[in-house]
Amino acid sequence: MSTGGGASITLQFPPLKSSISSSFWLKLLKHKLEIMKLDETPIKIKGYCRVGTGIVEFLEDSLLFEEEGSSSVDCLRNECVCFDGEILLLNTKEQFKNLNKNTHLSSTHQTQIITYADLKTHQIIYWSSFPTLPGLITSSGVTPLVCDYIIKDVNVDDLDELYESLRVRDKGYAPGYFWYGGGEIKIIEEVVEEDLNVVGGRFGCLSTISGNNNPWSLRVLIAKMQRFKLPEEVEVVVYETVLRRLEVEGGEYLESKEEKRNSKGRGFKFNTSTWVETEGEGVGVVGWEMNGKGKPGPRSVNLKNNMDQESLAEQSA
Amino acid sequence: MTSFLKNVRESLTPTLKQSAFLQRGVLTPEEFVKAGDELVHQCPTWSWEGASDESKSRSHLPKNKQYLVTRNVPCKERCSEMEKGASSLGMMKEDGDGWMLEDDGKGGDDDDFDFVDEGDSEKPPSQAEPTTSPVAVVDDDDEYADIDEFEDDTLVTDTAALTVADNILAVRTYDVMISYDKYYQTPRVWLSGYSESRSPLSGDEMFEDCMSDYVKRTVTIESFPYTAAVVISIHPCQHGNVMKNIVGNLTQGEGGGEIVVEQYMFVFLKFVASMIPTINYDFTNAVETGGGSGK
């Protein structure tokens, strides 16, 4: 494995983006009109972060109304990490503007959506914030690697098998990170029970994503590694593909094992002495989502075309 | 009202019990599940989903396998623009296999996405800022005009995130759903679109991503039966005939062999792609006759 230029880099990720389905909004507004009325009690939600895309989805079944006895337990979707949160539906636009969002966020440590909906014009404005594991490295001490033999020194079929077993273990949400060395592939938890300084080996990230375009898998891997006692220097290899899959935002199609078996991988070398210790366990938040212009403003959606009967009739005609 | 009548019609239609995949291009519910299982197994971007509530569930299908879905499928350019381009001479090029491809004007054969710097003022129209920004829709309501400019500079934000100005390509995306139509006894495709800024698209906007010949004829705005979403749908009335012909051609042509029902969805998706060519969902397997489906 060789370093690609040797210069230290700062690890960054594409921003997590919310994707709220129209059916989510329609169900929420119906509930507001018919049941909640002026009640502003936050509603529990669950979101799905699709591995490799950085898109956090909120679908119709993301809404967990207490009246319906909904539970956040059964969230089974391929390639998704599932997490809990709340949505706060305010009654006035002024409340929406004036709410101290940072205070609200720090009091919950969950993903949040704050919204105001005008039920006459079908206009909805909202802010959303996202979860991640704490302990993220963003400082320097990260060196890019060009890994021109990584695929060859690991049996790709073994990786396939490992990935499938992780999917089963984590109910379909396996981020796909692992450790390998001496011809063996293990999940990180198994390796940590041993002395990593003696064991050696590398960490790998089974990913559909490439380079710096992996907002979730690599973040989770790094955060997880930070909790463990690791050697001072750690190499992480990002396997760009094992399975055929589509990379939505990254601009790369991953089509066959054979094609990638001979391709170069990418990796990073971390110097763990530069890591910044952070507090807390479990899921934290990375902050509020920027609006479409990249500014710290709310997002907006107009559901007139989905709700207004006249508009629907015009479109259908 | 129309949806209600369709639901009644579907509920009165007896469930197909006898396999007629090769004879009529249709599926029994069990075959639909079998073909869907193979799609999900081969292509993990596809998943099974259940209905959003019990009352919307169809009894002829397992509760957790009511429809198939793949989400966030990129749609880089408008089909309507592609059609205009294709109608002009010189806008098509031939690839090595004799297929006509849209010329991207760059002369290369590289079909990877191009990374677009959002600060670049010379972006082509299809990659420019969303033309359907929801905020811009509020021109008839001044009450929300200020929201577009409203900012809160004290917000905690993601410090590890690349900024918007970095090279991230924003494209329209679609959720593609496939349900089983009990009346026509074939799969049925439903599409729910999102703008570049991740806002739901209207029906008219989604029509821009369908071949114009089919818009408001074969492709119409409908209520998706398993959720509350308003989506567009490709009417399945001819699916059986077309699938019968495709399967016939595949099995009877030179070197043709046997096709098994597990391959149905792969063939079906390739057929549907002809109506929505710019919605880039088909990364499924190539179909080979003789019982195997491999790349």
Q: What are the DSSP calls for A31-42, one per residue?
A: HIIIIITT----
Residue B287 confidence (pLDDT) = 63
The closest alpha carbon to B203, from B213, B190, B188, belongs to B190
User: Phi/psi at B152 (nearest 5 deg)?
Assistant: -125, 100
Which amino acid type is present at position A198?
V
Question: What band does A266 get if pLDDT is binned at 50, 70 and 90?
Answer: low
Q: What's chain A's Rg over C-alpha atoms?
A: 22
Assign B134 to helix, strand or coil. Answer: helix
Strands A123-132 and A299-302: antiparallel
Angle at B261 between CA B258 and CA B267, to 5 degrees: 85
Question: What band does A223 get if pLDDT is binned at 50, 70 and 90?
Answer: low
* Tens of pLDDT, residues B234-285: 999 999 999 999 888 888 866 667 888 999 999 999 999 999 999 987 665 5
pLDDT at A7 over 50: yes
Chain B residues with CB inside 8 Å of A303's CB?
200
Strands A2-3 and A111-118: unpaired
Find residues 182-211 of chain A whose CB sits inside 8 Å of chain B. Answer: none
> Percentage of residues in chain B with pLDDT exceeding 70?
70
Assign A273 to helix, strand or coil. Answer: helix
With 0-12 / 13-18 / 19 or more C-beta atoms within 10 angstroms meaning exposed / middle / buried, residue A103 is exposed
| Range in A6-15, A55-64, A98-107 the model is least confident about | A6-15
DSSP A93: H
Mean pLDDT of B207-234: 91
Is the reported ipTM for this assembly greater than 0.95?
no
CA distance B164 to chain A (A): 5
Residue A126 confidence (pLDDT) = 95
Residue A96 confidence (pLDDT) = 93
pLDDT at A153 over 60: no
Find residues 123-142 of chain A whose CB sits inside 8 Å of chain B. Answer: 123, 125, 129-130, 136, 138
Residue B237 is among the residues annotated as catalytic for this protein: yes
Q: How far is CA A68 from CA A43, A87, A293, B55, B74, in A?
A: 12, 16, 38, 13, 34
**Catalytic residue of the set B43, B75, B79, B237:** B237
Question: What band does A29 get if pLDDT is binned at 50, 70 and 90?
Answer: very high
Question: What band does A135 get if pLDDT is binned at 50, 70 and 90?
Answer: very low
- CATH class of the domain comprising B2-77+175-272: alpha beta
Mean pLDDT of A239-243: 45
The minimal CB distance from A50 to the residues B72, B144, B230 is found for B72
With 0-12 / 13-18 / 19 or more C-beta atoms within 10 angstroms meaning exposed / middle / buried, residue A117 is buried
The closest alpha carbon to A43, from A82, A92, A74, A84, belongs to A84
Residue B182 confidence (pLDDT) = 93
- Cβ neighbours of residue A177 closer than 8 Å, sequence gap 6 or more: A188, A203, A204, A205, A206, A217, A220, A221, A224
H helices of B106-253, in order, are: 203-207, 239-252
User: Phi/psi at A306 (nearest 5 deg)?
Assistant: -105, -15
Q: What is the mean pLDDT of chain A?
A: 67
CA distance A105 to chain B (A): 9
pLDDT at A232 over 60: yes
Query: Between A128 and A212, whose confidence is greater?
Result: A128
pLDDT at B16 over 80: yes
pLDDT at A118 over 50: yes
Q: How far is CA B200 from CA A63, B17, B205, B206, in A?
A: 18, 38, 10, 10
pLDDT at A133 over 60: no
Assign A217 to helix, strand or coil. Answer: helix
CA distance B45 to chain A (A): 7
Which range of A5-14, A255-264, B271-280 scores highest in mean pLDDT? It is B271-280
CB of B13 within 8 Å of a chain A CB? The answer is no
How far is the C-alpha of B128 from the C-alpha of B122, rounded, in Å? 9
Answer whether A22 sits within 8 Å of B192, measured CB to CB: yes
Residue B108 confidence (pLDDT) = 41
Both structure tokens of A254: 């991953």
Task: Give chain A's domains with CATH numbers.
Answer: 17-132+285-316 (3.40.140.70), 135-274 (3.40.140)
* Tens of pLDDT, residues A41-88: 999 998 877 655 677 889 888 898 876 665 544 444 555 666 778 999
How far is the C-alpha of A27 from the C-alpha of A25, rounded, in Å? 5
pLDDT at B12 over 80: no
The closest alpha carbon to B240, from B12, B52, B5, B31, belongs to B31
> Percentage of residues in chain A with pLDDT exceeding 70?
41
The minimal CB distance from A302 to the residues B129, B138, B151 is found for B138
Residue B20 confidence (pLDDT) = 84
The closest alpha carbon to B63, from B40, B29, B38, B31, belongs to B29
The closest alpha carbon to B6, from B183, B270, B264, belongs to B183
Q: What is the mean pLDDT of chain B?
A: 76
Answer whether B198 sits within 8 Å of A246, measured CB to CB: no
* Tens of pLDDT, residues B182-191: 999 999 999 9
Answer whether A136 sits within 8 Å of B71, measured CB to CB: no
Query: Between A61 and B9, whose confidence is greater?
Result: A61
Is B191 in contact with B175 (CB distance < 8 Å)? Answer: yes
Query: Between B91 and B199, whose confidence is greater?
Result: B199
Question: What band does B72 get if pLDDT is binned at 50, 70 and 90?
Answer: confident
pLDDT at A197 over 80: no
Find residues 219-278 of chain B whose CB sits inside 8 Å of chain A. Answer: 220-221, 224, 227-230
Is A258 in contact with A114 (CB distance < 8 Å)? Answer: no
The closest alpha carbon to A286, from A178, A133, A184, belongs to A133
Could you tell me how many CB contacts below 8 A there are between chain A and chain B? 204
pLDDT at A249 over 50: no
CB of A98 within 8 Å of a chain B CB? The answer is no
The closest alpha carbon to B39, from B215, B234, B191, B261, belongs to B261
pLDDT at B48 over 80: yes
Q: Is the dihedral of CA A203, A205, A206, A211 positive or negative?
A: negative
Find residues 37-76 of chain B whose CB sits inside 8 Å of chain A. Answer: 40, 43-47, 52, 71-74
Mean pLDDT of A298-312: 82
Query: Between B37 and B89, whose confidence is greater?
Result: B37
Residue B177 confidence (pLDDT) = 96
Both structure tokens of A118: 């005008």
Is A285 in contact with A131 (CB distance < 8 Å)? Answer: yes
Mean pLDDT of B143-152: 81
DSSP A16: P
Is A151 in contact with A263 (CB distance < 8 Å)? Answer: yes
Assign B90 to helix, strand or coil. Answer: coil
